[in-house]
Amino acid sequence: MAKLRNLLPGVSEKVLADQFRQLETDDVLRREASPSIPPKVTYSLSAAGKKIVPMMEELCAWGSKHFGIEPTLRRS
């Protein structure tokens, strides 16, 4: 979550955590916690979440075309 938080200046950790919890509840994200000290939590897309990616890419392309805004996030 720290990497994502760095990409979203002005978004509080509470807001981001609430969104992650909701996405987990909606079966978009999977949360895996390791019993280490300090605890390490890893988030990944669920199967349902992976199905959303192409739709989001299309929506981004549509927005770029219609509003002339270049995407700022690139796929790694």
Extents of the domains making up the chain: 2-67
Instruction: Kindly indicate whether the domain formed by 2-67 is annotated with CATH number 1.10.10.10.
Output: yes
Q: Is the dihedral of CA 27, 29, 30, 32 positive or negative?
A: negative
Reading the block at residue 41, the tokens are: 């939590």
Residue 22 is predicted with a pLDDT of 97
Q: What is the pTM of this model?
A: 0.73
68: left (phi over 0), alpha (psi -120 to 50) or beta: left
Report pLDDT digits (tens) over 2-52: 788 888 888 998 999 999 999 999 999 999 999 999 889 999 999 999 999
Residue 8 is predicted with a pLDDT of 86
**Residue 54 predicted with pLDDT over 80:** yes
